[in-house]
Amino acid sequence: MQRLQVGNFELTAISDGLYHLDGGAFFGVVPKSLWQKKVAADEHNLVPVGLNSIVVRTGEHTVLIETGIGNKLPERLVKIYGQPAKLLDHLAGAGVSLEDIDIVINTHLHFDHCGWNTIRQGGKVVPTFPRAKYYVQEGEWQYGRRPSERDAISYMSENYDPLIASGQMQLLHGDQEIIPGISVKVFPGHTRHMQAVIIRSGGQTACYISDLIPTSWHLEVTWVMSFDLFPLETMESRKQYYAQAIPQKWLTMFTHDPNLPWAYVEKDERGKMVAKQTTYG
Ligand SMILES: [Zn+2]
C-alpha cells in the first residue's frame, strides 16, 4: 500500500492482487526481444499484471477509483487469468470500510476494472459499497450490452446491471466534474468511451489514466496493447494526454503496473518517455 498527498487530498494505492496476461497480447505489435527487457515472461509467456485501485480521501468524500477483478469470475476464466480477490482485505488493511466509500468511479466496464462493484450474497448480486454512487460513461455501458465478438468475454453484466437497475450507478455523458476536484475525461482507444479520472487539489494534479497507458512499460506512444479496439486512437489520445500532463507535471497513475502505481512521465534528452518515481508523499 502506498500513500501520497495531492494538495489537500490523500491518495492510497490499493491492489486487488496480481493476475497474468500473455506478454504478446499485452505488448501488441512490439517484439518480445524489446519488451522482455522490461518484464520477464514465464514458460507460458505470461507476465504479471497489477490491479491498482486508488482511494481518494478529500475530507468530505471517500472515492474509490476502479474495483479490480472481484470474486465472481467463472471457473473457465479463473483458469486463464486467476482471481486474486485481494481488494477488500487491502481496503480493510488501509482502514477503509465498505461503508466509507461514497463514490465509485469505473473507467470502463471490462471485468478487470469493475469486478468488486458487486458481490454475491445468498444467491443475489448486491452492491459491495452500499452507500456509494457509482459512475461510468453511458456509451461504455451501451457498448457493453452489445459488444463485438472480439471483446464480449470482457463484459459481465452482473458487475453493473444490478446497480443501473437500482439507480445506484449514474451514466455520464462525456467529460464531467463528479465532485469538486475530481472529474472524468474520455480518452478513446482501448474502448471508445474509456474515461480517465483527474484529481486536482492545491495546485497539484494526478490522473488515473487506466488502460490508455496501462503500465510504466507502455509509455511510448506506439507500445499499444493488442486488446485495444482502436489502436490508432490510443496513440492520438496518448499524445493529447502527454501534451498536457508532461508540461503541467501531472502524476500519472497506472492501472496494471505490478510495481509502480504512480509516477511522473517525462521525456528524456533522447526523446524517450521515462517514469520518474515520486519522492513526496
Ligand atoms: Zn484493463
Instruction: Specify which residues 125 forms β-bridges with.
Output: 120
Cα 84 to middle of ligand 1, angstroms: 15
Cα–Cα distance measured from residue 265 to residue 251, given in angstroms and rounded to the nearest whole number:
8
In the chain, DSSP assigns E strands to 2-6, 9-22, 46-57, 62-65, 103-105, 118-121, 124-127, 133-137, 169-172, 176-179, 182-186, 195-201, 204-208, 251-253, 262-267, 273-276
At 108-132, the pLDDT tens digits run 999 999 999 999 999 999 999 999 9
Residue 88: count other Cβ atoms within 10 Å of its Cβ: 19
Q: What pLDDT tens digit does each residue of the chain (281 aa) get?
A: 899 999 999 999 999 999 999 999 999 999 999 999 999 999 999 999 999 999 999 999 999 999 999 999 999 999 998 899 999 999 999 999 999 999 999 999 999 999 999 999 999 999 999 999 999 999 999 999 998 888 898 999 999 999 999 999 999 999 999 999 999 999 999 999 999 999 999 999 999 999 999 999 999 999 999 999 999 999 999 999 999 999 999 999 999 999 999 999 999 999 999 999 876 54
Cα 122 to middle of ligand 1, angstroms: 29
Taking CA atoms, 95 is separated from 14, 16, 98, 196, 197, in Å, by 11, 16, 10, 26, 23
* Residue 279 pLDDT: 60
Cα 269 to middle of ligand 1, angstroms: 31
Cα 110 to middle of ligand 1, angstroms: 7
The candidate with the shortest Cα–Cα distance to 241, out of 267, 261, 276, is: 267
Cα 225 to middle of ligand 1, angstroms: 10
* Residue 1 pLDDT: 81
The candidate with the shortest Cα–Cα distance to 107, out of 220, 224, 210, 249, is: 210
Cα 143 to middle of ligand 1, angstroms: 16
Distance of CA 281 to the CA centre of its chain: 21
At 52-73, the pLDDT tens digits run 999 999 999 999 999 999 999 9
DSSP 33: H
Cα–Cα distance measured from residue 27 to residue 267, given in angstroms and rounded to the nearest whole number:
20
Radius of gyration of the chain from its Cα atoms, rounded to whole angstroms? 18
Cα 209 to middle of ligand 1, angstroms: 11
Residue 229: count other Cβ atoms within 10 Å of its Cβ: 17
DSSP 250: P
* Residues 182 and 58 sit within 8 Å (Cβ to Cβ): yes
Cα 35 to middle of ligand 1, angstroms: 18
C-alpha cell at 211: 488502460
Cα–Cα distance measured from residue 179 to residue 39, given in angstroms and rounded to the nearest whole number:
38
Cα–Cα distance measured from residue 234 to residue 239, given in angstroms and rounded to the nearest whole number:
9
Does residue 189 come out as left (phi exceeding 0), alpha (psi in the -120 to 50 range) or beta?
A: left
- Which element (helix H / strand E) includes 55? strand 46-57
* Residues 86 and 15 sit within 8 Å (Cβ to Cβ): yes
Residue found by looking up cell 483458469 in the block = 79
